[in-house]
């Protein structure tokens, strides 16, 4: 009887998660979308791919994608004793989260953490509990602010660089995915698709990789991240998404659009990070936020002109 009850509760959680999923395509209330994460999110190529896709296929939505990922960051609050050769400890998202929400007032937040949260050591239950606590604290803070949140599983740590830490991220990802059923949360998985992709690729090319250092994905890895997120968001993936591949696209207008999006993303993320404030040294200062807004508006005009030309 107990087993049957558990199954029923899981099914109820799954159904609730289906009804609670933020639908960016159909929603009239989701306008500002904020991305939180570590250096992989700060690099931001996957965010630029996502924004470019929506600009091409849903230009009427006028969505705003803001990247405030911060290199080295965790939400577990942990740091190695000699992180960055002793120059600074890892920043903790919770130190700046209130300011992020106050300044940006997002409608939807994507959060991609886990890579740094085990601080590159073998699995430890105490560190895992810190990660869990940080995830729950983040989730509550976002929901209490009135925004929706979608958690994203961390990218893979390459097993060629260390089997033990690769296993840590497998465990963290599985736990995050379980929250879809136990908590009815929205969770998008990019960890296991990336792992499967690399395993398949290495059958033909054993020395291939997605990240030279085992951590930070290159452009191919960022596209895999974007593709997993877009697949989860887009209802008609059999059509438009199959036609959109920025790694293989020979359309000069699409490439020009992506370059404009990437240019604006770079300006805006550094400006917002500096304006909001954080504890991570050695970061680009960027321009003042008012100047960034002006530059962003000018680039947006170029984007709209390009889209209009594309649609003619």
- The residue ranges of every structural domain in the chain are 2-311
At 250-266, the pLDDT tens digits run 678 889 999 999 999 99
Calculate what percentage of the chain has a pLDDT beyond 70: 89
The pTM score is 0.91
The torsion defined by the Cα of 35, 36, 42 and 46, in degrees rounded to 10, comes to -40
Which run of H or E residues covers position 58? none
User: Is residue 14 within 8 Å of 232, Cβ to Cβ?
Assistant: no
Structure confidence at residue 22 (pLDDT): 61
Name residue, tokens 């993936």: 237
Please tell me the CATH superfamily of domain 2-311, with its number. SGNH hydrolase (3.40.50.1110)
| Structure confidence at residue 311 as a pLDDT band (50, 70, 90) | low
pLDDT tops 70 at residue 309: yes
Q: Which two tokens stand for residue 155?
A: 């990218």
pLDDT tops 70 at residue 82: yes
């Amino acid at each position: 009887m107990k087993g049957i009850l558990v199954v029923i509760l899981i099914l109820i959680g799954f159904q609730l998660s289906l009804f609670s999923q933020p639908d960016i395509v159909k929603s009239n209330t989701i306008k500002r979308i904020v991305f939180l994460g570590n250096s992989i999110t700060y690099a931001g190529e996957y965010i630029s791919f996502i924004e470019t896709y929506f600009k091409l296929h849903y230009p009427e939505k006028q969505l705003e994608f803001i990247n405030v990922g911060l290199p080295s960051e965790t939400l577990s609050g942990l740091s190695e004793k000699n992180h960055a050769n002793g120059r600074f400890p890892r920043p903790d998202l919770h130190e700046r989260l209130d300011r992020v929400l106050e300044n940006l007032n997002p409608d939807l937040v994507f959060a991609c953490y886990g890579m740094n949260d085990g601080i590159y050591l073998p699995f430890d239950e105490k560190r895992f509990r810190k990660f869990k606590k940080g995830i729950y604290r983040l989730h509550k803070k976002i929901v209490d602010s009135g925004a929706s949140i979608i958690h994203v599983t961390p990218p893979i740590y390459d097993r060629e660089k260390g089997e033990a830490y690769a296993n840590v991220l497998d465990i963290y990802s599985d736990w995050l995915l379980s929250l879809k059923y136990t908590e009815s949360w929205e969770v998008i998985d990019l960890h296991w698709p990336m792992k499967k992709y690399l395993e398949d690729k290495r059958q033909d090319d054993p020395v291939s990789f997605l990240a030279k250092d085992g951590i930070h994905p290159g452009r191919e890895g960022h596209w895999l991240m974007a593709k997993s997120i877009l697949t989860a968001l887009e209802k008609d993936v059999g059509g438009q998404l199959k036609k959109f591949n920025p790694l293989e696209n020979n359309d000069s207008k699409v490439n020009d659009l992506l370059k404009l999006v990437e240019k604006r993303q770079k300006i805006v993320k550094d400006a917002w990070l500096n304006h909001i404030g954080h504890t991570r040294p050695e970061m680009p200062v960027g321009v003042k936020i008012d100047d960034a807004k002006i530059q962003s508006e000018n680039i947006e005009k170029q984007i709209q002109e390009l889209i209009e030309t594309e649609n003619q």
